[in-house]
Amino acid sequence: MIRPLTHKLLIGVLLISGGVMAAQLGALLSIAHSNGLIADFNAGHTNKLSGFGTAAPEVRLAQAVSWQKQRRYEEALACLNGLLDTPDPALQATVRYNLGNLYLAQAVAKTEAAAFNDAIPLASLAKQAYRQALALDSHYWDAKYNLEVAMRLLPEMARINSEDDRPFNQTSQLWTTVPGFPRGLP
Amino acid sequence: MMMRFKIRSQSLLQSYLPARLTARLLLPLCLATACTGTTPPHNDVTLLAPRPFGYVIGDTIRHRLIIDTHNGVQLQRNSLPKLGPINYWLDLTDLTVNAQPRNGGFHYEIDLLYQVFYAPLEVKMLSIPSFNLPLAQGSNTATQTVPAWHFTVSPLRELAVRKDNGGDYMRPDTPAPFLDNTVLLQGLLLSTLTVLASAAYLAYLYGYVPGFPKRSLFKQTGKKLVKLTDAQIGEALSLFHQALNTLNGTPVFQAGLTEFYRQHPPYRLAEEPLATFFQMSNQHFFADGIANPIGALHALRQLCNLCLAIERGQR
């Protein structure tokens, strides 16, 4: 004969696991909705996210990337800046890489328009963002590639020699070059 | 205090080459020698480094310094390199020191993780700067220089920057990753199984599972009792006797109730109504009949419900 305690325990287990199941179903539905939004943004749909502040960081990142594709840089910048404190290191690396891309794309555009004074700080910010992305994930190949692009666009001022390799001597560096890509071998 | 210095290129990581490099130096540290006045103890320092070529921008390089000191010589940790930029293209991103007492001295393992941010136009040799290892023996101090480590770094793209097929100089944005629901799905599976298992067992206890009649003895009896009228009290009493006998495995008599309770302790809760039931049964089958058959059938149904609750474990 089943003791009353067992019966109550069974009822309790049934109720609790039923509650957990319902909560998990709700969370799964929420994730499915978020993933649907991400897919929409990745596909280039331009609908604005409602409830932006409460949306998952991945959804907000997708919105930022969508804005970036449309060259709505200010909105994308504000969105990415809001994601810089994301606790997930992998996502934070992606955010910083995309932030670097945002700056670099503008720097390239300014350089091509010969607006060098505007391009220099943008390229510098791009390099900083790529370095931060690589500090979080040293195997982030796209970040390595684009950092190199940014370095070519605006080379570091110091040169590798015995004088410049001394620690912490970069504070005295000044911008002395005009940004631009090498167009061919010397 | 003497120090033997070795640099070895050793497989710290899988990608490291197993080759051993050359340098082995004997460097006297006069300070401790002067103090002891005897044969100077030797401190062995070994630098384990990975392959010295094939790096690109953003790569990390892990060095391990192994130091074995003697005669209580200790490493001054406060003077080790600090985390952060070493120069404009090199960061020290991690530094850990493990120390274990060994043979009157200490065995140190210092792991240094560097990250390179140099973008060369062609393959270029760089060097991780040397630094001093501060050591102390009591009030005497000395330093040992860890030499610079040379390696080559390569570019990721050709010198003349061209646009790719899409007309861009750069790699595109990384799309946002989809949210992972694997853990939730596993949790949902687990909770669903728990719900199903507990519901199935409760259904079994409640007699809802076909093919398991034992758990529904009093449920079946109760159903039949509901259909009987007051005039059929004899049939009702027989039905309940039958249920008790099936439960017990052998016929249950009034005189054998004590043994019945011993075999089925939870039914002690129904001790009083069961005694009344046997009295009613005796009166009906062996005497002049029950004085109030209407109340008897009602009491029998209540007894059956009580036994049903006990059977399910609710009481």
Strands (E), chain A: none
* Residue A92 confidence (pLDDT) above 70: yes
CB contact under 8 A, B179 and A140: no
DSSP sequence for B140-167: EEEEEEEPPEEEEE--SS-SS----TTS
Same domain? B130 vs B214 = no
Same domain? B20 vs B147 = yes
Is B200 inside any structural domain? Answer: no
A–B interface: beta-carbon pairs under 8 A = 188
What distance in Å separates residue B254's CA from the closest CA in chain A? 22
Which of B111, B134, B153 is the last residue before a domain boundary?
A: B153
Same domain? B232 vs B129 = no
Are B116 and B55 spatial neighbours (Cβ–Cβ below 8 Å)? yes
Same domain? B213 vs B142 = no
Q: Which run of H or E residues covers position B111?
A: strand B105-116
**Domain range enclosing B238:** 205-312
Per-residue pLDDT of chain B in tens (315 residues, 90 and over written 9): 444 556 555 444 333 333 333 333 333 343 444 344 444 445 678 899 999 999 999 999 999 999 988 888 888 888 889 999 999 999 999 999 999 998 888 899 999 999 999 999 899 999 999 998 888 888 888 888 898 999 999 999 877 666 666 556 789 999 999 999 999 999 999 999 999 999 988 888 776 777 665 567 888 888 888 888 888 888 899 999 999 998 888 898 888 888 898 888 888 888 888 988 998 888 888 887 776 767 888 888 999 999 988 887 777
User: Which residues of chain A neighbour B117 with C-beta distances below 8 Å?
Assistant: 131, 134, 147
* Amino acid letter for position B298: H
Same domain? B140 vs B216 = no
Same domain? B147 vs B274 = no
pLDDT of the residue at B24? 35
Is B33 inside any structural domain? Answer: yes
Same domain? B122 vs B220 = no
Same domain? B147 vs B280 = no
The closest CB to that of A151, out of B119, B265, B315, belongs to B119
CB contact under 8 A, A1 and B198: no
Same domain? B146 vs B8 = yes
Enumerate residues 151 to 170 of chain B having a beta carbon within 8 A of any beta carbon in chain A.
155-157, 159-161, 169-170
The arithmetic mean of pLDDT across residues A100-114, rounded, is 91
Indicate the DSSP class of residue B232. G
Is B8 inside any structural domain? Answer: yes
Is B17 inside any structural domain? Answer: yes
pLDDT of the residue at B140? 85
Is B168 inside any structural domain? Answer: no
Domain of residue B42, CATH code: 2.60.40
pLDDT, tens digit, 9 for 90 and up, residues A40-84 = 988 877 666 666 667 899 999 999 999 998 889 999 999 999 999
Is B190 inside any structural domain? Answer: no
Distance, CA of B298 to CA of B232 (rounded, Å): 12
Q: Which residue has the higher pLDDT, B10 or A119?
A: A119
Cα distances (Å, whole numbers) of residue A153 to A107, A140, B87, B167: 9, 20, 21, 16
The closest CB to that of B205, out of A7, A164, A165, belongs to A7
Number of structural domains found in chain B: 2
B204 and A CB contact within 8 Å: no
Nearest-CA residue of chain B relative to A59? B176
Enumerate residues 249 to 308 of chain B having a beta carbon within 8 A of any beta carbon in chain A.
264-266
Contacts of B26 (CB under 8 A, 6+ apart): B2, B3, B4, B5
Is B196 inside any structural domain? Answer: no
Is B52 inside any structural domain? Answer: yes
pLDDT of the residue at B233? 87
Q: What length does chain A have? A: 186
B202 and A CB contact within 8 Å: yes
CB contact under 8 A, B171 and A104: no
Which of B128, B153, B178 is the last residue before a domain boundary?
A: B153
Identify which of A168, A57, A186 has the alpha carbon closest to the alpha carbon of residue B179. A57
User: Which residues of chain A neighbour B178 with C-beta distances below 8 Å?
Assistant: 35, 38-39, 58
List beta partners, residue B60: B115
Can you list the alpha helix ranges (DSSP code H) found in chain B?
A: 30-36, 182-205, 217-227, 233-248, 257-263, 271-286, 293-312
CB contact under 8 A, A146 and B202: no
Cα pseudo-dihedral B32, B35, B41, B43, rounded to 10: -20
CB contact under 8 A, A108 and B202: no
Which of B114, B130, B153 is the last residue before a domain boundary?
A: B153
Same domain? B145 vs B214 = no
Identify which of B4, B75, B58 has the alpha carbon closest to the alpha carbon of residue B171. B58
Same domain? B112 vs B232 = no
CB contact under 8 A, B313 and A145: no
Same domain? B149 vs B32 = yes
* Residue A173 confidence (pLDDT) above 50: no
pLDDT of the residue at B7? 59
CB contact under 8 A, A18 and B56: no
**Mutate which of A17, A68, A108, A163 to test chain B, going by most B C-beta atoms within 10 A?**
A17
Nearest-CA residue of chain B relative to A170? B88
ipTM, 2 dp: 0.78
